[in-house]
Each structure stands twice: as structure tokens, then as C-alpha cells.
Chain A
Amino acid sequence: MKKIKARISAIQLVLGFVLIAYSAVLLFLFVWAVINSFKSGLGFDISPVGFPNISEPDLVDFGNYVKAFKAVRMSATLGGKQYWIYFPEMLWNSVLYAIGCSFFATITPCLVAYVTSKYKLRINKVIYTIVIVVMVTPVVGSLPSQIQMVKAIGLFDSHVGLWLTAMTFLGTYYLVFYAIFKGLSWEYAEAAFIDGASHLTVMFRVMLPLVKNTFMVVMLLNFIARWNDYQTSWVFLPNRPTAAVGVQYFIHAAENKYRVIPIHLAASMMLLTPVLILFIIFRNKLVGNLTIGGIKG
């Protein structure tokens, strides 16, 4: 046993090196951004290399983060009045949008995949084919139609409306869940049926827990995608801007007086921080644990 454990394989060494190099480059990007976020516009224009020159007050600006925090704002019409929405509220909008939508966008394909993979229905093949065909269709120019549809239902510019639009079984994750459910033995369900459980109970208390890890992973991926998404949320929630919309807007198109690169870098770091903290704290809970799927837990 000890022999096997002590042998560091070639794979591990090579991959390890590559990963170290990768991490170094990535870290450098962020370190550079943070360092330069303390320069003034002039300081950055004179040179993007090196640390802020503290002896020259014109070239440094330690207030960039405060400026960014105050400046990241968008106008919104709520309750008939026009307001400026600032970064903290944007963060809240991001949370509602990202968590709500990712939950629905995960549970829906999960349940649909479960039903279509485990039960014999004529509609199974239909749904599977629909998913494939849809995945392959470049959806171009349907955005105006989508907006019209959502408005017609009366769900435009509301979080609930967006959650409902996220309740789709289309997409990769349907296939992922389908593959996993297909690979799961029906034994556990049968055991439960014998014990008198209903289909609903079996679904929620037996089969779904078996894919819990995948569920959490998919939900995390959906969450991340939505946290950073600025196109969908901007179009469908014009008056409830999320943090991603706010910062993207700020970097590219804010009012003219904020187009200073170091302030953009500060705003970028500002957007990154909450998710980074959450991610580092909860990385173990959310990234695949090494438990055996099924019999335990």
C-alpha cells in the first residue's frame, strides 16, 4: 500500500507544473489590476508598469474605490418615479436574479430529465429531440419577440417573471441529468415503491438525492453564469439592474466623467469581491465531494 501511495506519478508532476504556471499568470492579472486601481488617470496614462508613485500626488488616487462605489449607478423608473440605483441594491438584485433563476433553471431540466429517462412515455423521445434541435439552432434576433411575449404576459421587469422564463428544460443540463439518471439503477426506486411510496415521494426522497452533487454543481454553474450576465438581465429587468449590468455599463458607457481606467479597475474588483469571498468560503460545500452516490446518505 505504501509503495503505491508514495509514488508521485508523472502525470501529477507535469500537470502540477502547468497548474502552477496557470495560477501564477491568473494571479498576476488580478494583482496588476489592484495595483493600478490606485493610480490616478494621469498616473496610469504615463505608465501602466510599476507601483503608484506615492511621492507624486497627481499620479495616485486612493479614493478610486470610493469613487467607483458611488459612481456605479443606473437610472430606473420604479413606481412612476425615476431613481438612481446604487451598487448595494444592484448586489441585491443580482442575488435575487442569480439564485432564483439558477434554482429554477436547474430543477426544471432535472425533473424533466428524470421523468423522461425513467418512465416509459411516448413524449420522451420528442422532448429529447427537441432539446437537441434547440441546442443546435442559433437563436438570432428573437430577442425583440421574447420581450414582446414577456410583456404580453405581464411579467416584464419583474424578478418573478424572469424566474418563470428560466423554468426551461432546454439546454445542456437536461442532457447531463438525463445521462446520469439513465445510468442510475432503478433498484432504489423499486425498493421504495414496494414500501408503498408514491411517485412523488420516490422522486423527491429517493432519486433526486442521488444526484444531489450534480444538482448543486449545475446550480452553481447556472448561478455563476447569471451573476455575470449583463445582457439578459439588462433587457428584461431594465429597472432592476444587477451588479453585472451596473459594472459593465460603468466600464463601457458611464457618464463621461468616469471614463478613467483606474476607476474601471476599481469597479471591476468591486464586482468580483462578493462572489470571490462566497466562493472561497463555501468551495467545499459546493464543489463535488467524493461520496459514493446512492447507497449512503
Chain B
Amino acid sequence: MKKIGKLLTVILSLVMTASVTACVGVRREEVGGNTEINKAMSQLYVSNFEGGFGRVWLDNAAKRFEEMYADESFEDGKKGVQVIIDSSIQGKTGTTLLSGLSNDTNDVYFTEDVFYYDLIAQNGAADITDIVATKDLSEWGEDGITIESKMDSTVMDFYKTSDGKYYSLPHYEAYYGIIYDADLFRKRGLYFLKGGTPGEYSDFVQQNNADHINGIFSGTYRYTTPIIDPDIKEVTQERSTGPDGIYGTYDDGLPATYEEFFVLCDKMKDMGIIPFTWSGRFTDYSTSSLYQLWADYEGRDQFLLNFNFGGTDGVARYATDLIDHFDSAYPNDSSKATLMSPVEITDDNVYMLQRQLGKYYATEFARKIATTDGYATDLSYSQSESHITSEGTYLLSRLEPTKTPIAFTFNGVWWENEADENGYFTQYAKYGETRMSRQFGMLPMPKVNNSLIGTKRTIASDLNRSQAFINKRLENNPVRLNLAKKFLQFLHTDDELQNFTVASSTNKPFNYSISQQKMVSMSPFGCDIAEMRNNDKIDMVYTLSAHPTFIKNFDKLYRTRIDWANNTYSRNIIYEFHNNGSLTVNDFFNALISSKDEHWLTK
């Protein structure tokens, strides 16, 4: 009896499932939407990690590629190419992607979190030295210009293996920072008033002050040539210089120093504005944004010591601002710490760079945010706030009357594109503001003190270990390999590099600039980022090097391992300070220097 009962159970459940399946139909669709694989055309399979940089850039580029080559034959009996895109998030990055490469049917890959030398060691990528270094882009009108020639020298040193080969290209210039809502600044009068001297602040600009000639977000070049918009009415209030110390530039009115920044935050609190929100679930966002304060203080040469270990060219390089010890009476004041005399850096003493002064100024900054009530939303400390939902929280805050406006957020440069592709701008369209109309900017980091106002703005990018490569499998298929290589070359033409920026509001780590025509179709934030290209006011530092010790120890040396990683506390300094009110900057200093010593790296 029981046996029959059991059998019935099984049969019934199978029948139920089968009927559900049949009812709806076993809907299998061929990938590529409803379009069939066109047998008369060649196919190119592309795998894309659809994170912050999304897929819109790729969809558009693929269409243009298909159009350009619609009449070209890549295989006998076929004409044109059909690009089939496999774009998603899970399984598209890191070791998961790497371990599945030999079975993966895609040809070209765009991904992140893949260590370049792991990729080579695992025989995952095809040799693309010819299209990177040898062949030029004359097919697209760029005679004599190779992809290699567009690469930054640091990046090139890293990507060119010791036997002169390339297996992958860096995909996107990823970095974190503080994003600010310029609409809110303007509407609520959060810009500093001109006070007469750099580093001054006397008061704040009035609310709803019309845009002055400096700092106009109109999709035009704002860094070098202020453009006067005739529709803007006369104003009576000018803004302070901002961190670059010059009147009439893009950063006017923004806080120039740490002190100004926190005066601003206090003012915001008084006005019923919350200064910050960020992702509570992914604590990396806040930490990696604070990292930029460190980089900005150190500047290129000093900051790169962390990666090039003094270099391999025989020139001695010295670290000039290493802290010897804190003044115990001032455990939270790095300016009172005693510095060491300059130390020559080699790969024997890289661990000494934990003492760089800039890092501790950044730590002070973090501590102030973490320990001051009301500087951040509660969701910033909540596990339920993911990087995506924090974008929604930020974007909705100014629009929805029942919410409190939020001025800043810690996020990556891709945040706006990510928010858009996740539908936030569409969802919030009912308030009448769109991605094209809302004005956001990447905040130039405030300087530690007045004397540093005017030093060059430095941004450090580790490219998020992003890669663009071709599956090694294709080396057995010359036709497909050729097609894949052509696609990669196409994407690195000047035009397509610009198109990437237009679509994603972010830059690729190559040398190119965005034409004014293209700027017009970009969002204000996109323009802000685009204008960082070829800009002598901004130093984009790529944290890579070709030093053999660096490559051997790469997993110990990327951003999340060298910023505040230590053996005592979590590297997420905001959380540490927030949860432990008695923690001092000095404590962190001690933790950091004790966790790395001469045995830290493998030689």
C-alpha cells in the first residue's frame, strides 16, 4: 500500500511538472533574441561581463561593425558578419571564467577581475601581438598608428610580456571616487563664495544662483576654455577657486581643502541634506573611493613607487614622505607625525610604503565621516544596500519629496551607466529629470591643507583587472581568429574609443579625445569624465608595472591588498571607525606597518 502511495507521489509530481512545461511550451530560443543564425553570414561570438560598464556600448559597437562589414566575406560562401553577444554577470569574471574558457564557445571576451598573467599561464588567450603592435589601423584611416601607440607607457610595460607578446588588452579605466550632485549644489547654494584668496571660504553662494561662467555644465569643454552661455543671466556672485587654485575653472566653489569639505558637510546637515550615502553591503566602494585621497596627495611619482618598486632602469627612486611615528599626543593628526628621511625604494623594502603620509591623511578623512553623526545615511551601514540599490537611493533622494536629499556618494566611475542600464533613470522619469538633464560630477579631491591647493589632481586606476581578449581555442580556427582580431582592432580605432565613452560615460585607458560633436550627446557626468582625457590638469596614474616582483606577487599588490589591508582590522576603514569609536589613525598606522615586513613579497 505504502509502495503504491510512494509511486503515486512520484508520478503525480512528474505529471504536474510535465503539464506545466507543456502548457507553457518548452520555450527554448536561440540566443541572439529572435534572430536566427544567418547561415549566409559568418558568426562572431562575444562574451561580455555586464557589470557597471554594461552592454549598451557593446550592442552599439557590434551593430556598427556588422554594418561596416556587411559586404565583406570572411569565409568561403558567406558574406558579412553576425555578432552574437552573450552578456551577463555571473560566471563572466575571475577564476570562474578562467576555468571554463577551454569549454566556452565564445570568441572574444570582455571581462574584469582576471589577472593578466593568470590568463596567460592558463593558456586562455590567443596571441594578439600582431594586431596590437605590428599592424596599424590604416584600414580605418589611422595610418601608422597601432593600438600599442595609444597605450600609456605604464600599461604597455605591464601588458607586454618579457618576450614581447600581447595576449590581452586593458578593457576599461575603472576607478572609484566621490560623486557629487551639481544640481543640488546649485539649487541649495552649496558652492563656496569667492573670498579673495585661494583656500578662502567666507560664505556660500545663494541658492538657485544661475550658473556662472565657471562651472557651467553644458556639455562643453569646461576645463580649459570657459564658454559663456548667452542664455545664462547675469550673476553677482562668484565662486571660490576650488582645489586647483584658479578662478574660472570647472571646480570653482567646490571644497578646496579637508577643512572646507567638512564645513560644507556641516552646512548640509543644517540644511537638512545628508552628505553621504554608499553601499553598505559592498564595503569596498567606500574604501576604494578614499584610496583616491591617498593617490591625490602623493602624486604620480610617489604613488607609483607602490607598484614599480623603484623601477628597473637603474635610477634610484626615493620615498620622501614616510612616517616614522605618530606623536602620541596627537594620534589622529598625521601632520604632527615625524617623518623619516627619504628612503630609496627597491623590491626589498616595498613594505615601507605602508608609511606614506598621504594614506594617513585619507584615514583621517575617513574617520571624520565615520564618526560624525548625520554625515551618512543609515543604509550606508546596511547589508541590504547593494551597489545597485545605493545608486537608486542616491538618485531618488533629491527627486522624491518624502526623502532627504543626499549630496555625495562613493561609487565607481561607471556608476551612472550602471544606474541607467538598471533602469533607474527610466523608473524615476516621472519626476521629469533624465540622465541627460541631471548634472553630476566626479569630485576633485580636496587638498589636505591650503598650501597644497593648486597641486595637480591625480587619479589612480587599476583598471579593475579588466581584459579584452580572444579565446585561445580560436588559434585552431584561422577564419574565426581573423574575424575576432578584426573586431578587436575595430574597437580600438579612435572613433570607437570615443563611442565607448559616449555610451558608457567612462573612458578607455588609451590615448584619444572626445570631439565636441560627440560631447553633445553625452550626459553632463559623461562630459566631466570625457574631459579628463588628454587633460594636462589631471594625471591619470595606472597602478601597474613590469617589475618581475610585482608580477610574481600580483595577488598581494592590487588595490584592495595594499590600501588598508592589515592583520588586525578590516581594510574597510569607515566601518572600523564607525564601529569602534576609540580607534585612532595611529592604531591603524601601527596595524599596517606591523602586517607587512621584508618577507611580505616573494622574490
Contact = CB atoms under 8 A, between A and B. Distances in A.
A118 interface: no
| Size range of the chain A interface in the assembly | 35 or more
A190 interface: no
Contact of A253 (B28, B89, B389): B89
Interface string B400-412: 1011000000000
Interface string B583-598: 0000000000000000
Interface stretch (B14-22, B215-223, B507-515): B14-22
Given A82-B105, A84-B31, A285-B5, A95 B14 contact: yes
Contact of A261 (B26, B389, B402): B389
B27 A82 contact: no
Contacts of B1: 297
B208 interface: no
A297 B55 CA distance: 62
B272 interface: no
Contacts of A128: none
Interface stretch (B131-139, B419-427, B529-537): B419-427
A256 B6 contact: no
A234 B430 CA distance: 39
A216 B6 contact: yes
A83 B29 contact: yes
A21 B16 CA distance: 34
A212 B2 CA distance: 9
B88 A46 contact: no
A163 to B, nearest CB: 15
Interface in A89-114: 89, 91-92, 95, 99
Contacts of A297: 1-2
A182 to B, nearest CB: 24
B144 to A, nearest CB: 39
Interface in A245-297: 249, 252-257, 259-261, 274, 278, 282, 285-286, 297
A91 B20 contact: yes
A238 B37 contact: no
A29 B50 CA distance: 31
Interface residues of B, number: 55
Contacts of A256: 50, 54-55, 418, 421-423
Contacts of A254: 88-89
Contact of A41 (B17, B393, B423): B423
A89 B418 contact: no
Contacts of B392: 41, 45
A278 B13 contact: yes
Question: SS class of chain A's interface: helix, strand, loop or mixed?
Answer: helix
A16 interface: no
A58 B29 contact: no
Given A46-B396, A89-B27, A238-B100, A259 B88 contact: no
B326 to A, nearest CB: 40
B2 A75 contact: no
A120 interface: no
B28 A95 contact: no
A46 B5 contact: no
A212 B5 CA distance: 12
B124 to A, nearest CB: 14
A15 B393 CA distance: 42
Interface string B151-177: 000000000000000000000000000
Contact of B90 (A89, A91, A253, A261): A253
Contacts of B23: 88
A88 B422 CA distance: 26
A269 to B, nearest CB: 15
A236 to B, nearest CB: 12
A259 B88 CA distance: 12
Contacts of B403: 46
A255 B31 CA distance: 14
Q: What 9 pairs between A and B have smallest CB-CB spacing? A: A253-B89, A253-B90, A82-B31, A256-B421, A88-B21, A84-B29, A86-B27, A83-B28, A259-B422
27 contacts: A40-B427, A45-B392, A81-B30, A81-B37, A82-B45, A84-B29, A85-B28, A86-B24, A88-B20, A88-B25, A88-B27, A89-B21, A89-B27, A89-B28, A92-B21, A212-B2, A252-B90, A253-B89, A255-B88, A256-B50, A256-B421, A257-B421, A259-B422, A260-B427, A274-B16, A278-B16, A285-B5
Given A82-B86, A89-B21, A253-B89, 15 more contacts: A42-B427, A45-B393, A75-B31, A82-B105, A86-B28, A86-B29, A88-B21, A89-B28, A92-B18, A260-B423, A261-B389, A278-B13, A282-B9, A285-B5, A285-B9
Interface of B: 1-2, 5-6, 9-10, 13-14, 16-18, 20-21, 23-32, 37, 45, 50, 54-55, 84, 86-91, 99-100, 103, 105, 388-389, 392-393, 396, 400, 402-403, 418, 421-424, 427-428, 430
